[in-house]
Amino acid sequence: KQIQEESETYVSTITGSVIDGIITFCHKGLVQSINESAEHIFKITSDEKQGSSINEFTTDGEPSFLEIFDSHFDGQSDPSPMETFAQDQEGRIFPIDLSISKIETSGEAVYIAIVRDISTRKEFQRALITAKEEAERMATAKTNFLSNMSHEIRTPMNAVIGLTNILLQEEPRQDQIDSLKALKFSGENLLVLINDILDYNKIESGKLEFEKIDFGLKDIVQSINKGLGVKAEKKKIKLDFVLGQGVPRVIMGDPTRLTQILNNLVGNAIKFTEKGSVTLDIQLEEKVNDDLWLNFRVIDTGIGIPEDKLDHIFESFTQTNSTITRKYGGTGLGLAITKRLLELQGSEIKVSSKEDVGSTFYFTLKVGVSKKKVKDLHNLAEEEGLLRTFNGEKILLVEDNKVNQIVASRFLKKWGLSMDIADNGKIATELVQENEYMLVLMDLQMPEMDGYTATKVIRQMDGEKFEKLPIIALTASALALTRIKVKETGMDGHVSKPFKPVELNHKIAKFLHGDRRTVE
Ligand code: ADP
């Protein structure tokens, strides 16, 4: 007897000290014992506990512990605790983890329910989810803000740069030329910064797409040389380009992004080099069927990068040398963008550098074999600078922004075109019916009716001329997606804003002088 009492005390000491609530009950649901934790969880005062029913621990309409045992725990060899709800004596309903097992003692079934109050855990999970949702909302808000702001800034910048270009062409005095050139330079610099931010934002939000088109490597090299050659010359640095043996002249990939990456690296190399040379070296690494692996190296003899900074230069907004940055500017985003642009194309940028000796940035990019020859490609560099003139052909400019209207029409008039201006897409759809236009320049985002809708309306008008009328989109976005949408809507081409006079001039010439089917 004493042994039995001792062992009962022993057992009740154990059950009394565990955190989980333990309740035993018979097959009729009458409670036989409750440990201290269960009393606490269910707010039971000691005189209530004898003979109460376990149904009191659940709310009406919810399955009782006995039903839960039958449906969830009975017969299962290794049942996991289940999440359900319980109710305490004060009527509070709360989430619990519950497991129930059944034992037979001297022919009678005893059920043992182990209950853990998980309200705190649940609250924590809910808080976590809310915090995550909040963070996602903030990230979206940030992305939207940045992309809207960049867009808003581009529009006036378009005007500043465009009007500066016009003034430069209107025979300014020598002292004005210098100011205008400085204005143009600053404007273009600002645009680069804005594009950087816009790009970074696009990359971060996963909205960036890559093209796969034929392009000439020489064209890329030439455009880099054109943009950065003058800077190198001014610093008396040699700028060299090496196209290795077996590197195909025409390849398939995204020329815009490749140019951007190389411009960043070569630009940096020139920026951080005071004497010596900067070399862009392109070598064929491997060719398997239709895939090519090209190794790009940008080698400079500049100031180099301290070893402890090497790991960090690819992070956003990181600059190792504040003196140089103050001197030459920069956002600290260039390398971060470059790294991500390469990562998104399955490549990785690497650097080796020694202080006061120089740096080499290198990566291997997979591109496609092209079936085209150099002569098949429309050679921009060759034609650059040669503006076409027209004989008073009439075109329609659809653009809601007044300053953009002024900028564009000054150029168009200068080239010998005459034009009408529509403030929005709706007016454009009316004007094309009343007049004979040779071509339409169509802004995309406009009040009243946007450029996509206006184009669709025009294409559906009666008569062959509305089907054939060349429509060129003026887009503020450089996204491939926009270009696809432009094509799908039935437009014949696009020019990005702020437009480069030569590009706009040539595009119009293609349609007015040449066979429009050859464009794009
Ligand atoms: P930034 O706009 O400042 O050039 P980047 O992301 O392009 O931003 O470069 C980050 C930093 O990495 C630079 O500020 C500079 O300290 C360092 N860096 C990049 N390229 C070179 C280079 N070729 N030689 C020396 N330092 C470089």
- The reported pLDDT for the residue numbered 516 is 37
- The reported pLDDT for the residue numbered 398 is 95
Confidence of residue 334 (pLDDT cuts 50, 70, 90): confident
259 lines ligand 1 (CB under 6 A): no
Residues 154-157: contacts with CB under 8 Å, at least 24 apart: 154/191, 154/194, 154/476, 154/497, 154/498, 155/401, 155/404, 155/476, 156/403, 157/187, 157/190, 157/191, 157/194, 157/498
- The reported pLDDT for the residue numbered 326 is 60
**How far apart are the C-alpha atoms of 175 and 10, rounded to whole Å?**
102
- The reported pLDDT for the residue numbered 434 is 92
**How far apart are the C-alpha atoms of 309 and 328, rounded to whole Å?**
19
**How far apart are the C-alpha atoms of 512 and 492, rounded to whole Å?**
13
Residue whose Cα lies nearest atom 11 of ligand 1: it is 319
The yes-or-no verdict on residue 427 having pLDDT over 80 is: yes
331 lines ligand 1 (CB under 6 A): yes
Distance 222 CA to ligand 1 centre (A): 23
The arrangement of strands across the sheet holding 439-443 comes to 418-422, 394-398, 439-443, 471-475, 493-496
Q: Write out pLDDT tens, residues 288-304.
A: 999 999 999 999 999 99
Enumerate residues 6+ apart whose C-beta is below 8 A from 246. Answer: 284, 287
Mutate to test the pocket of ligand 1, among 277, 321, 335 (most ligand atoms within 8 A of CB): 335
Confidence of residue 385 (pLDDT cuts 50, 70, 90): low
The yes-or-no verdict on residue 228 having pLDDT over 70 is: yes
The one-character DSSP state at 45 is -
Q: Judging by DSSP bridges, how do beta strands 108-117 and 21-25 pair with one another?
A: antiparallel
**How far apart are the C-alpha atoms of 413 and 389, rounded to whole Å?**
10
Mutate to test the pocket of ligand 1, among 196, 272, 328, 333 (most ligand atoms within 8 A of CB): 272
The overall longest dimension of the chain from CA atoms, in Å, is 121
499 lines ligand 1 (CB under 6 A): no
Residue 42, phi-psi category: left (phi > 0), alpha (psi -120 to 50), beta (remainder) = alpha
**How far apart are the C-alpha atoms of 486 and 483, rounded to whole Å?**
5
**How far apart are the C-alpha atoms of 285 and 362, rounded to whole Å?**
13
Q: Give the H/E segment covering residue 261.
A: helix 255-271
Beta bridge partners of 333: none
- The reported pLDDT for the residue numbered 455 is 94
Distance 346 CA to ligand 1 centre (A): 23
Q: Write out pLDDT tens, residues 149-170.
A: 777 787 788 788 888 888 888 8
**How far apart are the C-alpha atoms of 326 and 271, rounded to whole Å?**
12
**How far apart are the C-alpha atoms of 389 and 227, rounded to whole Å?**
26
The yes-or-no verdict on residue 198 having pLDDT over 80 is: no
- The reported pLDDT for the residue numbered 238 is 95
Annotate 282-322 with three-state secondary structure. Answer: EEEEEEECCEEEEEEEEEECCCCCCHHHCCCCCCCCCCCCH
**How far apart are the C-alpha atoms of 23 and 15, rounded to whole Å?**
10
Single-letter amino acid code for the residue at 119 = S
**How far apart are the C-alpha atoms of 300 and 351, rounded to whole Å?**
11
- The reported pLDDT for the residue numbered 297 is 97
Q: Write out pLDDT tens, residues 453-497.
A: 999 999 999 988 898 899 999 887 655 667 778 888 889 988 877
Residue whose Cα lies nearest atom 7 of ligand 1: it is 334
Distance 192 CA to ligand 1 centre (A): 16
Q: Judging by DSSP bridges, how do beta strands 418-422 and 394-398 pair with one another?
A: parallel
State CA 92 to chain mean position distance. Answer: 47
Atom of ligand 1 nearest to the CA of 313: 12
Q: Write out pLDDT tens, residues 31-47.
A: 888 888 998 999 887 66
The yes-or-no verdict on residue 145 having pLDDT over 90 is: no
